[in-house]
């Protein structure tokens, strides 16, 4: 009867992708283990020692050097000329959504997006955003669709239904249209939270989601065609 050959030992070559646990999880879950990387004959092997915290940084650094041939792609925030954006805005809680819209448009302008390349579409509420975003994405006119709304908790479960439907609607719009649809709907416990996030002490989430739209539009336009 033939004996089974032992499996070949694992060799991590410079073009191999390596998935490492985060530094936080490594130290939190296994504080006593220190891993080190030993380079030999253009391959990597690992050793462990029980001597406290230390090496995930060194391991990551070594692996990053060894995998330099891997191509990393990201969208650009340097410029937005030539990119076209649609912004779907809910009228409900307009005192909040108008501030989010202003933050988004101001951010687009800072990154050289022309006013004529921005189109704003108003809908009754956050529940209606998804279907309109999908229609705009499929139109072929826009590189990304930014979806802005504000859902504030009340005394009934209506909040949960609208918040969940708005999130899944925006997600489905992006998947079905193949165009990035960015979720910029605030889901807050009260009006104070909403105002704090639309230009108050917590910043303007409309501006933040505009940056996401810029990066995703650039990624799709320049790298994922």
Q: Is residue 13 part of a domain?
A: no
Q: Is residue 1 part of a domain?
A: no
Q: Is residue 76 part of a domain?
A: no
Same domain, residue pair 104 and 139 = yes
pTM of the predicted model as reported, rounded to 2 decimal places: 0.69
Which of 19, 32, 143, 158 is catalytic? The answer is 158
The beta strand positions in 7-158, using DSSP E, are: 34-40, 43-49, 85-90, 118-123, 144-152
* Residue whose structure tokens are 């646990």: 21
Burial class (CB in 10 A: 0-12, 13-18, 19+), 80: buried
pLDDT of residue 75: 86
pLDDT digits (tens, 9 = 90+) for 158-174: 999 999 999 999 999 99
Same domain, residue pair 165 and 201 = yes
The torsion angles phi and psi of 200, rounded to 5 degrees, stand at -90, -150
For residues 167 and 130, what is the distance between their CA atoms, to the nearest angstrom? 8
Q: Is 18 designated active site?
A: no
Q: Is residue 154 part of a domain?
A: yes
pLDDT of residue 76: 82
pLDDT of residue 74: 84
What total of structural domains would you count in the chain? 2
pLDDT digits (tens, 9 = 90+) for 89-120: 999 999 999 999 999 999 999 999 999 999 99
Task: Provide the pLDDT confidence category of residue 33 given band limits of 50, 70 and 90.
Answer: very low
Q: Is residue 53 part of a domain?
A: yes
Q: Is residue 3 part of a domain?
A: no
Q: Considering only residues 151 and 15, tell me which one the structure prediction assigns the higher pLDDT.
A: 151
Same domain, residue pair 57 and 107 = no
pLDDT of residue 93: 97
Q: What is the CATH number of the domain that holds 178?
A: 3.40.50.960
Task: Provide the pLDDT confidence category of residue 133 given band limits of 50, 70 and 90.
Answer: very high
Q: Is residue 191 part of a domain?
A: yes
Same domain, residue pair 119 and 182 = yes
Same domain, residue pair 49 and 147 = no
Of 35, 66, 97, at which residue does a domain stop? 66
Judge whether residue 222 has pLDDT over 80: yes
Same domain, residue pair 119 and 180 = yes
pLDDT of residue 77: 84
Task: Provide the pLDDT confidence category of residue 224 given band limits of 50, 70 and 90.
Answer: confident
pLDDT of residue 10: 45
Task: Provide the pLDDT confidence category of residue 69 given band limits of 50, 70 and 90.
Answer: confident
Domain range for 56: 23-66
**DSSP H helical segments within 17-93, as ranges?**
23-29, 56-66
């Amino acid at each position: 009867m033939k004996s089974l050959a032992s499996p070949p030992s694992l060799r991590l070559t410079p073009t191999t992708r390596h998935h490492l646990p985060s530094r936080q999880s490594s130290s939190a879950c296994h504080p006593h283990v220190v891993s080190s990387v030993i380079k030999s004959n253009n391959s990597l092997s690992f050793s462990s020692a029980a001597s406290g915290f230390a090496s995930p940084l060194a391991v990551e650094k070594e692996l990053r050097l060894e995998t330099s041939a891997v191509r990393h792609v990201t969208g650009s925030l340097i410029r937005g000329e030539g990119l076209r954006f649609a912004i779907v805005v809910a009228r409900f809680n307009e005192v909040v959504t108008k501030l989010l819209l202003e933050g988004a448009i101001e951010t687009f302008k800072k990154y050289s997006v022309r006013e004529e390349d921005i189109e704003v579409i108003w809908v009754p509420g956050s529940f209606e955003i998804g279907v309109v975003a999908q229609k705009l994405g499929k139109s072929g006119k826009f590189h990304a669709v930014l979806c802005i709304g504000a859902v504030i908790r009340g005394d009934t479960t209506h909040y949960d239904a609208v918040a969940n439907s708005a999130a899944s609607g925006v997600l489905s719009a992006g998947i079905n249209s193949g165009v990035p649809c960015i979720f910029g709907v605030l889901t807050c416990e009260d009006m104070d939270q909403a105002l704090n996030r639309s230009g108050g002490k917590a910043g303007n989430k409309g501006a933040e989601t505009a940056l996401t739209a810029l990066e995703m539009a650039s990624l799709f336009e320049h790298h994922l065609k």
